[in-house]
Amino acid sequence: MSQTSAAPVAPTAEVPSIPLREIAPWALFFGLLGLLILFFISADQGAISIPSGNAIHEWVHDGRHLLGYPCH
């Protein structure tokens, strides 16, 4: 940014940025959704169980081991 006075050899296109106000709702909603998915795949029915039982744990068991999440 400090070198804007130097004459550019080729016309450098300004890199666009996205206003954070525009991203915030997407980030909030999909951020929470993404974390929820990661929770169900990685940790549910190990330490905490929602719903109770172990169907989810059993079903994604191998993925849990191979993706590096704590399991037993």
Partner 1 sequence: MTARAFLVRGLLIGLLSGFATFLVAHQVGEPHVETAIALEEAASADDPTATETAHSHDDEGTTVSRQHQRTWGLLTGSLAVGVAVGGLVALVAASVVGRIGRLSPGQSTALVSLIGFVSVALVPFLKYPATPPAVGSGDTIGDRTSYYFGFVLISVAFAAFSSLLAIRLLDEIGTYGAVLASAGVYVVAVVVAGRMMPTVNEIGDFPADVLWYFRRASLLTLATLWAVIGIGLTGLIGRLHRHERGLADRRELAASL
Sequence-distant (6+) residues with CB within 8 A of 65 are: 71
Under DSSP, the state recorded for 72 is -
Distance (Å, rounded) from C-alpha 20 to C-alpha 55?
A: 40
Residue 64 contacts residue 71 (beta carbons within 8 Å): yes
Q: Does 59 bind partner 1 (CB under 8 A)?
A: yes
33 vs 50 by CB, closer to partner 1? 33
Q: Does 9 bind partner 1 (CB under 8 A)?
A: no
Q: Which of 7, 9, 10, 22 touches partner 1 (CB under 8 A)?
A: 22
Residue ranges that bind partner 1, judged by CB under 8 A: 1-2, 12-18, 20, 22-23, 26-27, 30-31, 33-35, 37-38, 40-43, 46-47, 53-55, 57-72
